[in-house]
Amino acid sequence: MVKTAQFEEKTYEKYFGHELSGRFSNSFSPGQRAEFSMGFDEAFDLPWWIFFYHFRYLMKSPWGGLGGIGLQDLDHIAEEVSKDLPPYRFNFFVQYKRPDYVEGHRGGEWPSWQQPYFRYAITAHQQLALEKLHSASSGRAAVIYASPAFWTSDKLFETAAKKQVIKKSNIAKAEALTGHGRYSYVAEGGVGVAHSEPEEIRGPTFEKLIELALDQPKIPFRDHVLKAAGAIERSLDEDRSRATFEKAKKVVISDLVAENIDIPSGGIVSAILTIEAFCDAFAVEFYAVG
């Protein structure tokens, strides 16, 4: 019998992401902001006083909220705000997976476990993009799949209340799944089997990945994000990946930019748009941590 996880992938992602951010003294994820134009406060949980300290001309309008700001100004804002932010060390690119729970011996992966297990499919073009991103990141990023070692909604909420969603998840490094179409596991941690030709995967736990992150040198936020965007650009050397990314970037820009203006290349705005477009194109979430 095959049972699909009762909860939505987004719900699991939310709790996992909150715990991940809480493991570090500072974190940044563009997916956490509601509005790109002034989203730094939500992405960082950044106090408003930092903006008004540097940019006193950003005054509230009589109708509430802030007046408009040009995209060109955001490059300057990011550079100034970076001076008040702690340094950053590492990136996580996480593809979340909602697993099936397989109880019967008719399951295709049963011979590998001889007991009930979890499994999920690996999408070929996403996997290729993640492999290339891992290579391009030069050790400053973990590119991983994360999937829960439970399948009921009750278990998700019980686990989230204890802040143990990461602990109760199975982590697989993308580069370890090259050439496979499915992945199965029976428990939390980093052990699983990649299929179709079964291959045992023994990767690091998330705690080990955190240790790796904390060993990386610290660099200012702006430089860190520019490096992450540069790694993404270097990874997109395959025609399909590049084409998918460019289509996603056009949509991201059209959703966020009200006026027809050029976005300066090489700046923080362009870098964040690059990260967001890659995440949308290949169904991953990005977290920069310090």
How many Cβ atoms are within 10 Å of 38's Cβ, its own excluded?
Answer: 18
Q: Which of 44-48, 172-176, 197-201 has the lowest mean pLDDT?
A: 44-48
Q: Which helix (H) or strand (E) holds 3?
A: strand 2-4
Q: Which helix (H) or strand (E) holds 141?
A: strand 141-148
Q: Which amino acid is residue 172, in one-letter code?
A: A
The predicted-structure confidence for 152-175, as pLDDT tens digits, reads as follows 999 999 999 999 999 999 999 999
Percent of the chain with pLDDT over 70: 81
Q: What is the pLDDT of residue 70?
A: 56
What is the rounded distance in angstroms from the CA atom of residue 125 to the CA atom of residue 162?
36
| Measured CA distances, 119 to 3, 23, 56, 66 (Å) | 10, 27, 53, 47
pLDDT range class, residue 74, cuts 50, 70, 90:
low
pTM: 0.84
Q: How is residue 69 written in tokens?
A: 């700001």
pLDDT range class, residue 61, cuts 50, 70, 90:
very low
Contact 110, 101 (CB under 8 A): no
Q: Which of 58-62, 186-190, 247-251 has the lowest mean pLDDT?
A: 58-62
